[in-house]
Structure 1
Amino acid sequence: MNEHEAKMAHPRMAAGVLFFDEVDRVLLVEPSYKDYRDIPGGYVERGESPLRACAREVQEELGIAPRIGRLLVVDWAPNPGEGDKVLYLFDGGLLGAEQRRRVRIQADELRGYDFHPAERLPELTIPRLVRRITAGIRARADGSTVYLEHGEPPTLGGT
């Protein structure tokens, strides 16, 4: 490995999705291995795109294969224990009643799922995920794609 390669970042990548119900509540899953709720998604595997990883994780976790929409958020989120991460958040759109009836949760990883109003997110999940989901909801509403660092818009000093 040369000096240049030694300096290169090798971040883990993960991809998640925002699904909504008919009254714009967001879907959160309840992982059995975490003490907070999360969005459907997971790590990107070698050779897999973030979009394909997102679709695969939804299929594995919820047992459904809805169309995954456009990219809403990219969040650089380093973690002291796990290293650098780049997290992608996609728009899953409306998860209608028919699709919800077909949901079969992955029992060995999830205790359940439900839809929640955005204002309840801070009591249900961790702050950086609340920031990412909130940014995703705004990006979905205004048609933008947002870049975040630690779930927040970056600030770069300029002259």
Structure 2
Amino acid sequence: MSALHAGDPAAFATDVLDEGPAELEYEPGIASRRPTKTCAGGALIRDSAGRVLFVVPTYKPVLDIPGGMTDDNESPKATAVREIREELGLTVELGRLLVVDWTPRNGVWRDCHQFVFDGGIVDDATAHDDELEAVVYLTLEEAKPRIYPSLHRRLTLALEALESGSTRYAEFGREV
């Protein structure tokens, strides 16, 4: 269930019913021929010194921000909240959307819409998941050699969005 309706399942059910009956295909099979995009939700969490919280995954050679891929019928914001709870053992109320970034297909991974939300200030976070070796707080420059260039660009935009109050749209980390 989406984070928007997490506190009110009846409102979510009403919203679904208000949409009316499920849309039917006028051309059989058209929906199954559409591309399948993936989606991810993550959070920009900082410490009191302004450094960014990065997770150290066991399953890839680079750092990442807390978050992950959405499950079926799960919103990006609900994904970020769930992943932060799983990865860090924290229940957070995420702030506003900072960045929407489209990333192209890369190897086995499909193209993806990535959403970065304001995760606020959290000091002394620790890893609470077997998928993580640790967490580290770093400036973006300190993190640069340990993260993908597109994530560096995306997080630079996220920090700019925090300061300006304006959400950014990017493609592969470059504002367009």
Normalising by the smaller structure, the TM-score range is 0.7 to 0.9
- Match of 1:89, SS state, is strand
1:51-86 C-alpha deviation (Å, 9 max, x unpaired): 111000000111111211110000110223222211
Which runs of no fewer than 5 residues in structure 1 stay unpaired? 155-159
CA contact (8 A) 1:147 1:153 kept: yes
Q: Identical aligned pairs, as a percentage?
A: 37
Mapping of 1:1-159 within 5 angstroms? Answer: 2=28, 5=31, 8-80=34-106, 81-96=108-123, 100=125, 103-106=126-129, 108-154=130-176
Q: Measure, in 2, the Cα distance between the counterparts of 1:133 and 1:85.
A: 16
Computing the radius of gyration from Cα coordinates, the structure with the larger value is: 2
CA contact (8 A) 2:127 2:134 kept: no
Tell me the CA shift for residue 104 of structure 1.
Answer: 4.6
Q: Measure, in 2, the Cα distance between the counterparts of 1:144 and 1:2.
A: 42
Tell me the CA shift for residue 131 of structure 1.
Answer: 0.7
The answer to which structure, 1 or 2, has the higher relative contact order (CA under 8 A, 6+ apart) is 1
TM-score by length of 2: 0.78
- After superposition, the Cα gap between the structure-2 partners of 1:66 and 1:6, relative to the gap in structure 1 and judged at 3 Å, is closer
Tell me the CA shift for residue 9 of structure 1.
Answer: 3.5
Q: Which amino acid aligns with 2:112?
A: K
Q: Measure, in 2, the Cα distance between the counterparts of 1:7 and 1:122.
A: 39
CA contact (8 A) 2:52 2:138 kept: yes
CA contact (8 A) 1:64 1:104 kept: no
CA contact (8 A) 2:127 2:135 kept: no
- What is the RMSD of the two structures over their aligned residues, measured on CA atoms? 1.7
CA contact (8 A) 1:43 1:53 kept: yes
1:90-137 C-alpha deviation (Å, 9 max, x unpaired): 10011145xx3xx4521x200000110122121121101111111111
Number of aligned residue pairs: 149
